[in-house]
Each structure stands twice: as structure tokens, then as C-alpha cells.
């Protein structure tokens, strides 16, 4: 059995870089979708934190006024 | 007050980031070149990984739906809803990455074969889950209907998974056996020198798929935290409105 590095050199086949453009396109598309979701989650959490802080402040001010 | 979810979420986030870096390194520097497709075959590590994890998310949603119907609890409804949301994202990644891979492999971006048609049906079914949730105002009714829907929707997952194993399809089978009647038309089969296929399997099942499972766990924890914040905001708003109404 040949070692892996020799197998890689000897296995033949097409020039792997012929399809490189599609590889880049695929990974860009996948990352755009994943990052879109992560950013959406983050921004929704940030908005909720701000809302919670504001609402708590309103209730505290109301308590003090009483 | 810090909950267990608050403590575990940053750990999962960083674990997911670390695993993604390792996964990308393994895909681009350890996995071998495929003989017929060249570098574009490396899309399959993410395509197959995200497809498997989409299946897991919908399985978790099914389980959460059953648990909710047995004993209604807000947490199980949140788990089901978050899992479906994440599952739709993973399915979108699967469909788009598969389409990009198909162009050089099949010489077309899309074919309405049984597998590709069924995955679109599955995607639409789970997108419709959110339409159903938004259409029902009564909370208990919404959760109950959503739980029933998520159980029924799992039929589309089973059909999508089984389609290439029982029907003749251009989509290759990467994992498991194929029925005799379904053999012979798949295009884009992977071809490695014998010793190198093991490397591909190691990266696919040992690294890429576990990485996507951890990403799912991290996103689920984040989504559940978000839902708790939404619930807290709703409760606080109700208190503010009550005070305004009663002076």
C-alpha cells in the first residue's frame, strides 16, 4: 500500500482547478446564508435587550413616582 | 439571573467557531482531490453535512411536537419552532450548494428529479409552518396546531431521504444501500484512489457533520435565548399597559 502523499500525486483525474469557480461560488453562497441568520439572531437579541431595559426603566420610574 | 442556557450558549458559540475553522482546514488541506469533478467536490462536505443536520433538526422538532402534545409546555414549543427555523436555514444551504455543485457535475443548475423535487416540497412545507404559526392568534391553539403540523410535516423528510434509495434519480447516494430498481442513472459519483476514499469519509463523517451538529446546538441555544427575551418583553409590555390603563 502506497503512502497517502504518493496516492495523491499518482491518482490522476482532471485538473482540479477547472471547477474552482464553482467551489468559490458554492462556499460564498453558503456563508452568506449562514451569516445572514447569525446576524439576524444577534440583531434581534440586541433589540430585545434594549426593549427589556427600556420597559424595566419605565416600570421603575413609575414605582418611584408612586 | 443567569440561567443554564445563558452559561452554555457562549461555550457552544466558541466551540462552533473552533470546529468550523478545523473543518475548513480539513476540507481544503487534508481531504483529497476527487478525480472526475476536481475541487468542486469539496462543496459536498458542507452539502451533505448540512443535509444530515437538517434531517436532525426536523427529527428534534418532531420529538418536541410529540412531547408538547403529551404534556403542553412552552419550552417544547420553543424547541420545535427553533429547530424548524434552523432546519429551514440548513435546507436552504443544502439546496443552493447542491445546485452550484450540479452545474459542473450534471451540466445544469437544476433538474426536477424525485429527490430535488421532494427537497423543495420539504422546504416549502417547513416554511409554511411559520405561516401557520403567524395565522393563529390564540397562543394555546397556535402551539397545539404547530405541534400537530410539525409531526405531519416529517413525512416529507422521510420521502426526501428515501427517494434516491428507491427511485431512479440523477442524485448520487453517498450513504447506505440503493434498491436495485433505483440503480444506474446517478451522475456525479465520487471517484478516489482506493486509499484516499477513507480520508474523504473521515472529513465528511468525522469532522464536517459533527461541526454542523455543534452549529445547530449553538444556534438552537441562541434562538431559545431570543425566545425567552421575546416572552419577557411581552410580559413587561403587558405590565406597562396595565399600569397605564389603571392610572
d(CA B195, CA B177): 22
Residue A4 has pLDDT above 90, yes or no: no
ipTM: 0.88
Q: Are B107 and B62 in contact (CB under 8 A)?
A: no
Q: What distance in Å separates residue B232's CA from the closest CA in chain A?
A: 7
Interface test with B, best of A17, A37, A57, A60 (most B CBs within 10 A): A37
Locate the chain A residue with the closest alpha carbon to B240.
A59
Phi, psi at B136, each rounded to 5°: -105, 125
All three cell numbers of A4, joined, read: 497517502
Interface test with B, best of A26, A61, A64, A65 (most B CBs within 10 A): A26
Q: What distance in Å separates residue B137's CA from the closest CA in chain A?
A: 21
Position with higher pLDDT, B111 vs B1: B111
Q: Are B238 and B228 in contact (CB under 8 A)?
A: no
Residue A34 has pLDDT above 70, yes or no: yes
User: What's the pTM?
Assistant: 0.89
pLDDT tens digit sequence for B155-173: 999 999 988 888 887 888 7
Residue B43: which of A15, A26, A37 has the nearest Cβ?
A26
Residues of chain B contacting residue A37, judged by C-beta atoms under 8 Å apart: 86, 89, 219
Report CB contact under 8 Å: A59, B232.
no
CB of A23 less than 8 A from some CB of B = yes
All three cell numbers of A46, joined, read: 440586541
pLDDT tens digit sequence for B100-116: 999 988 889 999 999 99
Give the closest residue to B40 by CA, choosing from A31, A11, A12, A16. A16
Residue B189 has pLDDT above 90, yes or no: no
Residue A26: which of B38, B97, B223 has the nearest Cβ?
B97
- What fold characterizes domain B4-245? 1.20.120
Domain boundaries, chain B: 4-245
Q: Are A46 and B222 in contact (CB under 8 A)?
A: no
All three cell numbers of B244, joined, read: 397605564
For position B55, what pLDDT does the model report? 96
Three-state DSSP state, B98: helix
Domain boundaries, chain A: 16-65
d(CA B21, CA A63): 50
All three cell numbers of B142, joined, read: 397556535
Task: Give every CB contact of residue B169 below 8 A, 6+ residues apart in sequence.
Answer: B113, B114, B115, B163, B182, B185, B186
pLDDT tens digit sequence for B25-40: 999 998 888 877 888 8
Q: What is the mean pLDDT of residues B53-71?
A: 97
B78-81 long-range contacts (CB < 8 A, ≥24 apart) are B78/B224, B78/B227, B79/B220, B79/B224, B80/B146, B80/B147, B80/B150, B81/B133, B81/B146, B81/B227
All three cell numbers of B204, joined, read: 465528511
Residues composing chain A: 66
Q: Are B122 and B51 in contact (CB under 8 A)?
A: no
Q: CB-based burial of residue B4 (10 Å sphere; 0-12 exposed, 13-18 middle, 19+ buried)?
A: exposed
Amino acid at each position: 500500500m502506497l503512502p497517502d502523499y504518493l496516492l495523491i500525486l499518482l491518482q490522476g483525474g482532471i485538473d482540479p482547478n477547472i471547477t474552482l469557480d464553482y467551489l468559490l461560488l458554492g462556499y460564498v453562497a453558503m456563508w452568506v446564508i449562514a451569516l445572514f441568520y447569525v446576524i439576524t439572531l444577534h440583531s434581534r437579541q440586541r433589540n430585545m435587550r434594549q426593549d427589556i431595559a427600556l420597559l424595566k426603566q419605565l416600570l421603575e420610574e413609575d414605582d418611584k413616582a408612586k | 439571573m443567569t440561567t443554564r442556557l445563558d452559561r452554555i450558549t457562549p461555550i457552544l458559540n466558541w466551540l462552533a467557531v473552533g470546529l468550523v475553522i478545523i473543518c475548513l482546514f480539513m476540507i481544503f488541506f487534508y481531504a483529497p482531490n476527487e478525480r472526475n469533478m476536481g475541487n468542486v467536490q469539496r462543496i459536498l462536505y458542507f452539502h451533505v453535512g448540512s443535509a444530515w443536520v437538517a434531517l436532525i433538526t426536523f427529527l428534534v422538532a418532531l420529538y418536541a411536537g410529540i412531547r408538547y402534545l403529551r404534556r403542553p409546555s412552552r419550552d417544547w414549543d420553543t424547541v420545535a419552532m427553533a429547530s424548524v427555523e434552523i432546519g429551514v436555514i440548513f435546507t436552504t444551504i443544502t439546496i443552493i450548494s447542491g445546485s452550484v455543485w450540479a452545474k459542473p457535475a450534471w451540466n445544469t443548475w437544476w433538474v426536477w428529479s424525485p429527490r430535488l423535487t421532494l427537497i423543495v416540497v420539504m422546504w416549502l412545507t417547513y416554511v409554511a409552518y411559520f405561516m401557520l404559526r403567524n395565522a393563529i392568534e390564540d397562543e394555546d391553539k397556535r402551539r397545539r396546531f404547530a405541534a400537530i403540523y410539525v409531526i405531519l410535516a416529517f413525512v416529507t423528510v422521510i420521502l426526501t431521504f428515501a427517494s434516491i434509495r428507491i427511485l431512479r434519480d440523477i442524485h448520487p447516494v453517498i450513504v447506505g444501500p440503493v434498491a436495485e430498481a433505483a440503480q444506474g442513472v446517478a451522475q456525479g459519483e465520487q471517484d478516489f484512489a482506493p486509499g484516499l476514499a477513507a480520508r474523504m469519509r473521515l472529513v465528511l463523517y468525522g469532522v464536517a457533520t459533527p461541526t454542523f451538529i455543534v452549529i445547530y446546538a449553538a444556534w438552537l441555544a441562541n434562538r431559545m435565548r431570543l425566545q425567552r427575551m421575546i416572552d419577557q418583553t411581552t410580559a413587561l409590555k403587558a405590565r406597562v399597559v396595565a399600569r397605564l390603563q389603571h392610572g
